[in-house]
Amino acid sequence: MQEMGRKTVTLVLGGVRSGKSRWALERAAKAERVAYVATAQPLDPEMVEKVRRHREERPSHWHTFEEPLELGRVIAEHAAAFDVMLIDCMTIFVANLQGAANADSIFAARRIEDFLRALRTPQSSVVLVSNEVGSGVVPPYPAGRKFRDALGELNQRVAAVADNVVLLVAGIPLVLKETIGARS
C-alpha cells in the first residue's frame, strides 16, 4: 500500500466483523490531521451504543463529521484541512439514501454522483469502509435485494475510482487493487 503522504482513495471492503473498520482506523492513524466522517444515525439504543464504542476507539484529536447523506459535500468542503478523511461507512450511507429518497431515485442518484465527483479529485487522502455484499445470500424480500444491489453497484463505482481496494477476511487484509504513483 502507498504511503499516507500521497493523496489516495482507498476502499476497504469486508463482511460483518471482518476487521475492516479497525484496519481503516489503523491506516488513518498514521496521518497527523484526520477527519472521521460518520454516516450512522443513532436512532435506537443498539446504534447509540455502537456510536459510543466507535467514538472511544478514535483518537480524541481527530475531527468528526456526522453526515448521513452529503458525503460529496463534506469531502469537497473539508478535505483540504486534513491529511486523511476516513468515511465509515458506505453501507449506512446507502441505507440512509434509500430511506431519505423514498420513491425519488433522483435524490439518491444526485448524492452518489456528487460523492463520486469528490472522490475523483480529493484534496486529501480518503479511506472508505463498506460491506462486501456480493458473497452473501440473496435477500428474500424486494427491499433487501434493492439495497444489496445499490450497495454492490456503489462499491463497484468507488472501486473503479479508488487507487487501492482492500478486502478484509477474518481480520486479514487482502489487496485487490493497488495503484503505484497515485495522485500526488
Q: 123 is in which domain, residue-wise?
A: 9-164
Report yes or no on 4 lying in a domain. Answer: no
Residue 54: active-site member: yes
**pLDDT at residue 2 tops 70:** no
Domain annotation covers residue 172: no
CB-count exposure of residue 82 (10 Å: 0-12, 13-18, 19+): buried
Q: Which helix (H) or strand (E) holds 127?
A: strand 125-131
Domain count, the chain: 1
Name the average pLDDT for the chain.
90
pLDDT at 66 over 70: yes
Choice between 65 and 51, residue whose per-residue pLDDT is larger: 65
Residues 6+ apart with CB under 8 A from 13: 20, 130, 131, 132, 155, 165, 166, 167, 168, 176
Query: Residue 54 has which C-alpha cell?
Result: 466507535
Residue 176 lies in a domain: no
Judge whether 182 lies within some domain: no
Is the whole model's pTM more than 0.95, yes or no?
no
183: in domain: no
Burial code of 119-149, b = ≥16 C-beta within 10 A, e = fewer?
beebbbbbbbbbbbbeeeeeeeeeeeeebbe
pLDDT digits (tens, 9 = 90+) for 96-131: 999 887 767 788 999 999 999 999 999 999 999 999
- For residue 73, is it within any domain? yes
Residue 90 located in a structural domain: yes
CATH at residue 129: 3.40.50.300
- Look at residue 61 in the predicted model and tell me its pLDDT: 93
Query: In which band, very low, low, confident or very high, does the pLDDT at 180 lie, cut at 50, 70 and 90?
Result: low
**pLDDT of residue 182 exceeding 60:** no
Give residue 136's pLDDT. Answer: 78
Residue 31 lies in a domain: yes
Catalytic residue, candidates 54, 61, 63, 78: 54
